[in-house]
Amino acid sequence: MPRNQSIIRKLEPETSTSTLKKKTRRKAKPNVSLVPQYVQGQVEPYDLHEPYEPVAKPLVFNARKSQKQVIPIGNQIYQGDAIETLQGFADNSFDCCITDPPYNIARGNKKGLSWAFSNHVTMHEKWDSYSTDDFERFCAAWMSEICRVVKPNGNIFIFGSYHNIYTVGAIATRMELKILNSIIWAKPNAQPNITCRMFTESTEQVVWICNNHFKKATKWTYNYDHMKELNGGKQMRNYWEIPVTPKREKVDGKHPAQKPLKLMERLVLAGTDTGDRVIDCFGGSGSTLLACDRLERRWVGIERDPEYCKLAHKRIDRERKQRRLL
Ligand SMILES: C[S@@+](CC[C@H](N)C(=O)[O-])C[C@H]1O[C@@H](n2cnc3c(N)ncnc32)[C@H](O)[C@@H]1O
């Protein structure tokens, strides 16, 4: 039975995939009843029989200095600019891209009403602020690099809200790519709109693209049966109700745009197979990378901010250790 399928077989509709390996490797595992429960996070000690494999430290890669394009190292965070770093990678290096780029929400130092009157996160990060023209150029540049480094017919999942998703969609349409779906991530516990002048923004989208001309796209990966099983035997819809990132996923540090692992794991399970190589060129706190690590996909992350690189490294490495220490 393929590895994905064995994972899903054990999955209850609302169970975190991270708990599943334990069940699928039951024979090789020591008696877990003697093992204390881990309280901070969700990770269970399913890899006790395997040696601890530390995650490599983030690598500063100067693509401009590099003479020729390289095959990126698997399970590695690259610290650097997304476009420059991608330019240093060889064509067709990845099976899939799952990425959560800047949305162009931040407005410089203007923190807005919600910032003044609430504890909720308001985006005011420098990396998230562009003029309209610059933002279009930036999106077009990184998207065309992603299309080069992902294999033909590979999956590309791009996150967004109304601020950036139309730009991403327009560029994908202009590039004549095959858009397969847009997935709605609905947040049942979204932060309220304190201005009371508009609806509470409680959704984000994920545009799912097949990396080929829309007339030629074929044989993209979609683990239909797995998704159906995850959805209690019914076809998985493109409307996913998943709460915002829980506190227990922020024990290593905070990132203002951190995505919940449940959401990232579902994307990884839907669009990749075990052993696939996945790139996230805006890695942030490493949610895509951690989901891939849990599900035995090879991952590569790019992130410009050294502090976020450290955070992503710490999250993945700590989880790998936990799997063995408990
Ligand atoms: C929306 S956040 C990603 C959050 C991530 N999905 C998570 O769960 O933590 C975008 C990230 O891209 C990084 N970033 C912005 N511009 C970049 C660039 N040109 N090159 C590399 N990283 C960049 C930011 O530092 C930020 O961490």
List the domain boundaries for the chain: 57-321
Residue 324 has a pLDDT of: 60
Which residue owns the Cα nearest ligand 1 atom 13? 282
Residue 108 has a pLDDT of: 55
Residue 298: in which H helix or E strand, if any?
strand 298-303
Residue 123 has a pLDDT of: 55
Instruction: Specify the ligand 1 atom closest to the Cα of 142.
Output: 19
Residue 31 has a pLDDT of: 46
Separation between Cα atoms, residue 185 and residue 319, nearest integer Å: 25
Look-up: residue for tokens 């799912």? 208
CATH topology of domain 57-321: Rossmann fold (3.40.50)
Taking the C-alpha atoms of 177, 179, 185 and 186 in order, what is their torsion angle to the nearest 10 degrees? 130
Between the CA of 48 and the centroid of ligand 1 the distance, in Å, is 33
Residues in the chain: 326
Instruction: Specify the ligand 1 atom closest to the Cα of 285.
Output: 9
Do 194 and 118 meet the contact criterion of CB atoms below 8 Å apart?
yes
Separation between Cα atoms, residue 59 and residue 55, nearest integer Å: 11
Separation between Cα atoms, residue 259 and residue 280, nearest integer Å: 13
Q: Which residues sit with their C-beta closer than 6 Å to ligand 1?
A: 81-82, 100, 102, 127, 255, 257-259, 282, 284-285, 287, 302-305, 308
Which residues does residue 99 pair with via DSSP β-bridges, in sequence order?
Answer: 158
pLDDT along the chain (326 residues), means of 10: 43 40 43 43 58 91 82 97 97 98 75 40 66 94 98 98 97 98 98 95 98 98 96 97 96 96 97 97 98 95 98 95 67
Which of 243, 320, 277, 312 lies closest to 78, judged by CA? 312
Separation between Cα atoms, residue 227 and residue 245, nearest integer Å: 21
Between the CA of 252 and the centroid of ligand 1 the distance, in Å, is 17
Separation between Cα atoms, residue 6 and residue 274, nearest integer Å: 11
Residue 267 has a pLDDT of: 98
- Please, which residues have CB within 8 angstroms of residue 15's CB and are 6 or more apart in sequence? none
Separation between Cα atoms, residue 170 and residue 288, nearest integer Å: 24
Residue 181: in which H helix or E strand, if any?
strand 177-186
Residue 47 has a pLDDT of: 61
Which residue owns the Cα nearest ligand 1 atom 27? 284
Helix 165-174 and helix 132-149: axis angle, to 10°? 50
Residue 62 has a pLDDT of: 82
